[in-house]
Amino acid sequence: MIAPEILTGGFSEPVFQSQAVFRQVLDAFARPGRVVAMPSVVTAPSPLFTPTAAFLCTFADEATPVHFEAGLAGGAAAAWVTFHTGAPLAERPDLAQFAIVTDPLALPDLETFALGTQEYPDRSTTIVIQVESLFGGDRFRLEGPGIDGAAEASPAPTPRNFLPALARNRMLFPRGVDLVLAAPDAILALPRSTRVTALRGA
């Protein structure tokens, strides 16, 4: 018996809502660190936030394996994603095109995901990490393409081992993973091209 919450809550206007979500995500990727509001167009079972679910509905389909962290894989959230996008579940993170991490304090090592190859760096995982808020946590300085000078990010809580993990990820460039930090109503993107350092003093 399938719970009704799994069958409902997808896009009501798939063509226009996915376009609207895409443009917000594109804006976030083009301007790392910018907090971009996400339209409240889908409702997914806990613990998926609306932006996470909207992201998957926009980008995932049968061609893109999605990886869920251990506690999530057999649950209603994963079933909702499978039903609404048709995306297969990736058991191994290094085979996933998208990965969902709802517990930032248990963020796995980024090297366990697909990093792409030197010839095809695009064959890598995009990881959506859910955080309580995009403000108020430890402050980080962002530099790189898409940023005029420098930008700032302060996700709360700070994902596990955040700074060293991002520094290693940047060293792999052009290989590496791209991160999306998702709060309950907005996202912020940290593509692999962004250089992240600690910001001392408030």
Partner 1 sequence: MTIRDESPAADEKRSPYNFAYLDEQTKRMIRRAILKAVAIPGYQVPFASREMPMPYGWGTGGVQVTAAIIGPDDVLKVIDQGADDTTNAVSIRGFFAKTAGVATTTRTTEATIIQTRHRIPEAPLSEDQIIVFQVPIPEPLRFLEPRETETRTMHGLEEYGLVHVKLYEDIARHGHIATTYAYPVKVEGRYVMDPSPIPKFDNPKMDNSPALQLFGAGREKRIYAIPPYSSVKSLDFEDHPFEVQRFEAPCALCAATGVYLDEVILDDRGGRMFVCSDTDNCEQRREAGHTGTAAGIGGESQ
d(CA 56, CA 169): 23
Residues 17-56 contacting partner 1, CB under 8 A:
18-20, 22-23, 25-26, 29-31
The answer to whether 181 and 35 have CB atoms below 8 angstroms apart is no
CB of 57 to partner 1, least distance (A): 10
Helix (H, G, I), strand (E, B) or coil at 121: coil
Size, binding site for partner 1 by CB under 8 A? 38
Residues 101-140 contacting partner 1, CB under 8 A:
117-122, 124, 126
CB of 178 to partner 1, least distance (A): 5
Tell me the residue length of the chain.
202
* Residue whose CB is less far from partner 1, 104 or 191: 191
HSE (side-chain half, CA atoms, 13 Å) at 35? 13
* Residue whose CB is less far from partner 1, 22 or 83: 22
Residues 156-175 contacting partner 1, CB under 8 A:
173-174
Alpha helices in the chain (DSSP H): 4-7, 14-30, 50-59, 76-85, 162-171
DSSP 160-196: TTHHHHHHHHHHTTTS--EEEEE-SSEEEEE-TT-EE
Answer for which of 140, 178, 187, 196 binds partner 1 (CB under 8 A) is 178
d(CA 111, CA 73): 20
CB of 131 to partner 1, least distance (A): 20
* Residue whose CB is less far from partner 1, 92 or 173: 173
Examine residue 144 and tell whether it contacts partner 1 (CB under 8 A): yes
E strand or H helix at 142, and its extent?
strand 140-143
Examine residue 95 and tell whether it contacts partner 1 (CB under 8 A): no
User: Would you tell me which residues interact with partner 1 (CB under 8 A)?
Assistant: 14-16, 18-20, 22-23, 25-26, 29-31, 58-59, 61, 63-64, 97, 117-122, 124, 126, 144-148, 173-174, 178, 191-193
